[in-house]
Structure 1
């Protein structure tokens, strides 16, 4: 039986970890021992993360360092908003570091991180929490189907 190599349309079952430059894990499927499953190109991963998987096969363990522009992008100043404190409900008090979901006009929720609270002005950052970070993407390929 020939080994299945990950290609453009492969179905892949794998464990992954995304680690920050200080070595802390931002995300990992190993925490709950639930491997990720995807079909290449299905949008589960960005193109740059998928590129890391191409050519790997079952049993491979690899680590890739990705620059911000290849991972979660650079922070966009246009994604930082100043929201009046009166817009927050009594149950949701804006505190620095809090992640709050804001309902968009189309009904979807968009998470924002409270960066600053000054009087009645609350600074909310809608950039991806890992934007601007160099990350290490570690993968353990468990299964490949073509």
Structure 2
């Protein structure tokens, strides 16, 4: 079985941003990532690199910013009331956190400045503008269930739980 649309693929990955040091790794968490292919659940450049691969394939792929988190946008900041953050008292300038938005759902942001009632954040993803290198090992491929296709994401181990 090969990776294609509406298959759930599980894979380990290590990603670096050109600085040589990994910025994220599924191996550190011990579980592979599981995603439903063809539904925009991972960055486009990585999803394209997975297509046609099989269990046991191990490869490296370099993904340019346009196929990852996009180019950095100057002055792409917003002032957000503290009530929209989980545990705002723990945040410090330079930290990454998730901000839940109405339009785009969860969004990774970087804290710039903390005021008494608001937090200024950079809306660029922390990896925006960076060329990413992924070391990938495919561990499993299976047909997606009708429910997974309807929900547009993988369920179960390594995927999303409801």
User: What TM-score do the two structures reach when normalised by structure 2?
Assistant: 0.68
| Aligned residues of 1:16 and 1:140 also touching (Cα < 8 A) | yes
Q: Does 1:12 align with 2:21?
A: no
Structure 1 residues 35 and 101, CA, compared in 2 at 3 Å: closer, same or farther? Answer: closer
| Aligned residues of 2:108 and 2:126 also touching (Cα < 8 A) | no
Alignment match, 1:133: 130
- Give the structure with the higher percent helix: 2
Note the residue ranges of structure 1 that are not aligned, 5 or more in a row: none
How far apart in 2 are the matches of 1:141 and 1:125?
34
| Aligned residues of 1:94 and 1:122 also touching (Cα < 8 A) | no
Aligned match for 1:41, one of 31, 38, 43: 38
Structure 1 residue 94, shift from structure 2 partner: 6.2
Alignment match, 2:22: 25
Question: Structure 1: which 4+ aligned runs deviate by more than 4 Å?
Answer: 100-106, 108-111
Structure 1 residue 20, shift from structure 2 partner: 1.4
| Aligned residues of 2:112 and 2:120 also touching (Cα < 8 A) | yes
Higher-Rg member (1/2)? 1
User: What TM-score do the two structures reach when normalised by structure 1?
Assistant: 0.74
How far apart in 2 are the matches of 1:49 and 1:59?
17
Aligned match for 1:98, one of 59, 71, 95: 95
CA RMSD of aligned residues (A): 3.1
Note the residue ranges of structure 2 that are not aligned, 5 or more in a row: 144-162
Q: What do residues 93-113 of structure 1 show as CA deviations (whole Å, max 9, x unaligned)?
A: 76431335556467x664431
